[in-house]
Amino acid sequence: MNENKKRYSDEELQEFKQLILSKIETAKQNYDLLMSRIMKDESDPGFKVLEEGAATSEKEEASQRAARQLDFIKKLQGALIRIENKTYGICRVTGKLIPKERLMAVPHTTLSVEGKEIEQQRKGR
C-alpha cells in the first residue's frame, strides 16, 4: 500500500460500497428472521406452562441477537455515509489509511489496528 495515499479511489470506494450493501442485505434478512420468530412466539397460543420459561429465554436471546443485527446495520449504514463523504477507510485516531484487507474483513471499522491499540491504551489508564 502506498504510504502517501490519503484516501481510497472512487473505484475502490465503489467496491467497498458493494460489499457493504451486500452485508446490509444479509443483516436485514437475519433481523427480519429473528423478529418473525419473536412475533410468532408471541402469537402462538399453544404455550404450556412448563414451556414458557424456555420460550421466554429463547425470545430474550432472539431479541438480543436482533438488537445486535440492528446495531450492525447502523454501523454499515454509517460506513456508506463515509463512502459518500470520501472519508471511508481513514482511521479516526491516526488519520492514516486503514489497510484494504482490514476493511474487507470489517467493512464498518473506523480504526486501523494501530488506532485500536492506541484507543485501548487510552482506556486502560
Give the tens place of pLDDT for each residue, 47-70. 554 456 666 788 889 999 999 999
Q: What is the pLDDT of residues 67-92, one digit of tens each?
A: 999 999 999 999 999 999 999 999 99
Q: Where are the alpha helices (DSSP H) in 85-111?
A: 100-105
102 found inside a domain: no
* Total domains, the chain: 1
14 found inside a domain: yes
Question: What percentage of the chain exceeds 90 in pLDDT?
Answer: 74
117 found inside a domain: no
Domain of residue 38: give its range: 10-88
79 found inside a domain: yes
Q: Residue 72, by phi and psi: left (phi above 0), alpha (psi -120 to 50) or beta?
A: alpha
The pTM of this model reads 0.82
| Grid-cell match 491499540, residue found | 117
101 found inside a domain: no
Q: Is the pLDDT of residue 109 over 50?
A: yes
52 found inside a domain: yes
